[in-house]
Every structure is written in C-alpha cells, then in structure tokens.
Amino acid sequence: MASIDSKLGEECTLKSAVVVDVGNVTDDSLNDLKEAAELRKDIESGDAVDDTCENLSVALAMLLLIVDMVGTGVLSIPNAFATLGWIPGHLTLLLCWGLSMCAGFLLWRLRYQKYEGVHSYPELFNGAFGKKGLVFARFNTYPLLFLYSAAFSYTQAKAWSALFSGSAVSLTEWMVIAGFVSLVVLQLRSFKAMAFTSIIAIVSIIVPVVISFFVIANMVKDPVAYPVGQRVLFSYYGTSDCVIAAMDMLYAFAGAVVFLEIMSAMKFVKNFPYSLVFSQTFAYLFYATTGSVVYGLAGDATWLVSPFTNSLQLGAAAIVADVCVVIHAAIAVIVTGQVLIYGVQRAAEPFVKRIVFGKDNGPYEVAKLTSLKPAALLWWFLWALIVIVLETLVNTVIPSFQIYLALISSLIASQTMMLWPAGIDIYTFARERKGKEHLFTVLSVVIIMFGLTALILGLYGDIVGIIDN
C-alpha cells in the first residue's frame, strides 16, 4: 500500500493524504484510482483539492458530531428510563457514552497513525483487509446508514402527524411528505454548510425537550387524565422490553458510523479528540437530564409514548414542540444522508454510466461534492431520490418507533461503535504492542464482547417486539 502524504503532514488543507491499495483493484474502484492519480499530480504541482476535506475547525466538527448524535434518539430516552428504572437507566446510558468515546478514539488512532487518508469505514476496511474487507464494509455500512437515515424521516413523519392530529392525512402520507422534505434538504451537499445549519438542528431539538418538561409537569397535576406511573430503582419489565430499552439508549450514540467522514473533513485531524469529547459529553448530559426529568415527573405512565413529544397535551406548547421536531429531523438527516448517498453514488454511478453510455466512452467519473455543474447536481438529485423513495417504503412497514430505533442500534451501533473499531484495532496494533500497551488490546476485547452481546440480545429483543406488535 502506497501512501501520498501532504506537505503539511496531517493538515488536510487542499493537500490530503491518499491511500491506494493497488493490489486490491476492483472494477468499481477504477474511478477511485483515477482520482488518486490526478490528486498525486495536483499535489506535486501544489494545486491539490480534496472533495472530502473542507478544513473544518474543531468547533464546526463538534457541531456536526452533536447534530449527528443529539437527534431522534433523545425522543426515546424517557421511555427507556421508564422500562429500565433509575439505576439500570443511568448505568446503561453511562456505558453507551463510554463505548462511543472508545469508538471515536480507536477510529481516530487508526486514521491518524496507520491508515492516513481514509474517509469512511469501507476505505478503512480496504486499508486493513484489502478487497474482501472493502466488499464486506460496503455491504454492511450502507444498509446500516440507510436505516439510520430513514429514522430521521420516520421521526419527521410522526411529528407531522402529531402536529396535524385529527386530519384526514394518514401516517403513510405524512411519510411521503417527510421524504419530499428530506429530498429537498439533502441537496445541500457540503459538510461546511451542514456544520452551520447544524446550529438550527441542535436548537430545534433542545427547545421541544425543554418545552416538554414544563408541559408534562403541568399535565401530571391532573391525576385523573394523566396518572403518574411507577418510579423504581430497578425494572420489573420482561427481558425483551429491557433489551429494547437498552438498544434505544445505544441508538442515541450510534453516530460513530460517520466519525471517519467528519474527522477527515477537519483541517487538523489530530484535533478530532477535542470535538469528540465535548460532543459526546454534551450528548450524555442532555440524555441523562431528559430521561431523569421526564421519568421523575411521569414515571412509566401509560400515556407516555415514544417519541415522548407525541405525549404532550394538545395546545400551543405541543404545536411549537412538534414544529421544532419537524425542523430538526429535516435538517439532521443531512449528515448521515449525505454520507449514504455519496457512498451509493460512488459505487453505482460508474456502473450505470457504462450501461447507458457504453464502455468505450469511459472511464466515468463521479462528480465531487464541491462541484456545482448541472450534470453533477442532476446525478446527485437522482441518487438522493432513489434513496429517499426506498427509505419511505421501509418506513411504511415499521410497526413501532421504539422497536425501529432498537433494530437500528442492534445492527448499527453494535458494529460501528464496538465490533469494527475494536476488531481493526486488534488486527492492526496487537502484535506491535509491548508491556502495558497490551491493556489496549484487553480493552478492545472487552468492547468486542459488549458488541456481540448487543448484537445478539438486541436482535432477540427486536424480533420478540415485532412479533408482539
């Protein structure tokens, strides 16, 4: 594997590190090799421009990480607390925070010290395991990103439905509307532009949560209409219910799936840990506060549903909360959605062009995200439309919001937060470690055990939940 290092070391300002594994060239990677060759020439002339490096500062990267984390997951936290109880609820949330932090540091270390220039999980797998790793990561990462992205549209549709409660529009029709809104928002392709709009997304999820605190506090004053449920230290619910609740908490930290993309867009990759620590700690404190306040007010009340903002008594406050959730879900989808669509585009577009325009007219390129040419915008719109249509079809058959999040976390977070970072860490560094450094290997083994447990028990809980529904 040959590595092209920029003149400024790890600084990716217009001169990025590029990883090319010539021994593992596939038909659909010819476009990547062509781009790498062009970038080599540009680097030598001093004119290199990387389509993924956008010189993000620590603050902008932190905003992207927060909006990627603090989203639809927080809306299920109160129900998770209601199922688990005080002590298991807080311990599970703290464990998820720790696992997310470990995933971020492991991925950063792999990216910064060993696999310079990788921008995604498929590229990391290609650098570590070659062609087979690339194929495996592609067939796992993009379906997982698909479910993660679809959850934002699902949340948006539920908020639309609650906002216009009593209307003749069905939830399925609201899902179509939510898909259209997501399609429009996803035409914003730049990470830097997303970072600035993420401020709106963060505010628009904090506001409805805070509003809900006051509305629920007022609702429980009427014990006949809104009776308070039990508040216990330890859960008395069944195993499958508790597993789904734990997976909902894990989902709230499932943003690790795009850690590599965000750190690769930073001006200085070495500073990623600062953005990571602040964003993950902010998310943890926000989740813990939300769960504690709502559970303390309502307990496991039967009228408390997931997402919990749909439980609010009808009124001006509930309307404002639903509007904010719509805005948040519409904007928050751009991070995961952009990564998903661009990955699909890079994998499928050259193949489609060869069929439509013929092999002799190739090789066919995929336009960079910074390109504003009409053809680039039209191709992006086409792939975004295909992804959104498929997501809408999937959302129409989901039986429960809570089960949906649990299914995503058991499939996504168990791999992207635990199995993959820890597994590649062991594969890459275990043989080089000496003395106390082997403690990192032990930590990775423990993380893998957590990942396998989450994957197996999570799928079990999801299957039981789907059957019950």
At 131-171, the pLDDT tens digits run 888 888 888 788 778 887 888 888 888 888 888 887 889 88
Q: Are 107 and 116 in contact (CB under 8 A)?
A: no
C-alpha triplet 11, 278, 333: angle, nearest 5°: 80
Q: Is the peptide bond before 223 cis (omega within 30 degrees of 0)?
A: no
Q: CA quadruple 101, 104, 107, 112: dihedral positive or negative?
A: negative
What is the arithmetic mean of pLDDT over 36-46? 40
* Coil, strand or helix at 131: helix
Residue 458 has pLDDT above 80, yes or no: no
In angstroms, the CA 51 to CA 373 distance is 14
Highest mean pLDDT among 21-30, 264-273, 277-286, 338-347: 277-286
Q: Which DSSP symbol is given to 190?
A: -
What is the arithmetic mean of pLDDT over 396-401? 68
Where residue 333 falls among pLDDT bands split at 50, 70, 90? confident
In angstroms, the CA 228 to CA 296 distance is 9
* Coil, strand or helix at 280: helix
